[in-house]
Structure 1
Amino acid sequence: MSSSTTVRTARRRRTLRMAAAALTAAAGLTLTACSGSDATGVRPADHTDTEAAAESSGAGSSTGAQGSDAQAGPGAKADSKADSKAGAAAKQSGSGGAANGAGAGSGVQRCHTSGLKASFATGGDAVPDPNAGGSTTTSIVLTNKGSSTCKIGGFPGVDLKSENGGERWSLARSSKKFSSITLKPGDSTDFTINLALTKEEKGFYQPAFAVVTPPNETTALTLKWPWGTLVDQRSATHPATFVNPIG
């Protein structure tokens, strides 16, 4: 082989090596470009397209806030309703507690006429002394005939009536203080009437009935008058016959 032939062969081999190297470099660039494109499209598996769009646009925080409101809204309303119900229940329970507390004391109702029985006390010292003049007294007993405890206190109304009912005497009241008395079923209390009895045949008043109206009531109980005649002081400013309070 001549020297010129050897030179041409060497040049051809270098050319082929350079071409191969160029192809290899081009292939590497192609692979690198494809790899970069795939990396751009990769997203975490737990992200949806909507979430990715929201994150990329900066709307995620706004959506999150709305979602929080949407979740908290009904819950807040429910909590508000629950709080209101709890508050109402507590208030009701508190008023109930107060009512129960009052029930132990002031919750006892007053004694009504329908639950009372009235009678004159006629035993022993209860009988007025006919010779004592205006210093004697008579007692009227009030008994709780009902099935519930009740309270009574104050001045009863007492009207004396004649036989035919034509003459009526509403007795004055004393200035004595009083308090309330609790009567259980079957219990009794009384009040006194100061009397100015007389045996004179003039200036007297003969009662036939005593009409008793319990304190704070409008219905009366009528009793037959068991005693003698009274000094007629129906028009007197300070009569000697007057009513004392219960309690």
Structure 2
Amino acid sequence: MSAQTTARTARRRRTLRLAAAALTAAAGLTLTACSGSDAAGAKPAGRTDSGAAAAETGGANSSGGAQGSGAQAGGSGTQADAGAKPGAKSGAAGKQSAGGGQAAGGSGASGGIERCHTSGLKAAFATGGDAAPDPDAEGATTTSVVLTNKGGRACKIGGFPGVDLKSENGGERWALARSSKKYGSITLQPGDSTDFTINVAMTKEEEGFYQPAYADVTPPNETKSITIQWPWGTLVDQRSATHPGTFVNPIG
């Protein structure tokens, strides 16, 4: 082989090497570009993962927060329960009040004081002094019924008694209406008395009157009555009236 041929061969090989090197470099660039693209794509994925992690962390925090708020809610629930405790105390106070009421009516239980029963009471119209109703008052007058504890123990009484007026033969009855006055209760020791008033509309007319002969007095919360004589004159007959002038007031 001549020197000229050898030189040509050497140039071809160098050209092939350069071409191969260029191809390799190009392939490397292509691979790098792909890797770069993957890396670029991986970063958002990484961010997404981070975001997911953050979301999970946030979710944990959120759920933790929810648990925390749940705990706070539970805590506030506990506070509400604690708030309920005062309510329970109020309830207890209410019970104490009710107990106070029982103590008032049934201090009864501890002090032996119970309500006054018909069997332990005596009733009578107050007739002494100026107790008599004014026959000329045209309805603006009253009469009093005195209730006395004839028993050997203290008792409590309060409220409206029932009063039924009745004629001589008992055939004509008049259940008296009650006023709207407020009332309390009173303790009667043995021998003590209290009273209630009856507003009466008296009349001297020969017509439209009602002449009572007796009054049946039923103490509050009792079913048995005490019958007493009616000591006064005639009343305006208002048995069917909506707002009669004769009506009962509470005890005390």
Name the TM tier (shorter chain).
Answer: 0.5 to 0.7
Please give the residue correspondences for 1:1-247 in structure 2 after superposition, counting only pairs within 5 Å. 102=103, 105-107=107-109, 108-247=113-252
Q: How far apart are the structure 1 equivalents of 2:130 and 2:180? A: 24
SS in 2 for 1:169: strand
Q: How far apart are the structure 2 equivalents of 1:121 and 1:213? A: 17
User: Which entry has the higher C-alpha Rg, 1 or 2?
Assistant: 1
CA contact (8 A) 2:107 2:114 kept: no
Count of residue correspondences: 149
SS in 1 for 2:251: coil
SS in 2 for 1:114: helix
Q: How far apart are the structure 2 equivalents of 1:197 and 1:182? A: 33
SS in 2 for 1:105: helix
1:123-165 deviations in whole A, cap 9, x for unaligned? 1121111111100100000000000000000000000000111
Scaled by the length of structure 2, what TM-score is found?
A: 0.57
Q: How far apart are the structure 2 equivalents of 1:227 and 1:182? A: 30
SS in 1 for 2:114: coil
SS in 2 for 1:212: strand
Q: What residue in structure 1 maps to residue 32 of structure 2? A: none
Q: How far apart are the structure 1 equivalents of 2:205 and 2:232? A: 15
Q: How far apart are the structure 2 equivalents of 1:230 and 1:138? A: 12
Classify 1:171/1:102 alpha carbon distance in 2 versus 1 (closer, same or farther; 3 Å): closer
> 2:175 corresponds to which letter in structure 1?
S
SS in 1 for 2:139: helix
SS in 2 for 1:160: strand
Q: Which runs of 5+ in 1 are unaligned?
A: 1-97
> 2:208 corresponds to which letter in structure 1?
G
Q: Which runs of 5+ in 2 are unaligned?
A: 1-98
User: Post-superposition shift, 1:106?
Assistant: 4.7
Q: Which runs of 4+ in 1 moved over 4 A?
A: none
Q: How far apart are the structure 1 equivalents of 2:136 and 2:231? A: 16
User: Post-superposition shift, 1:102?
Assistant: 3.8
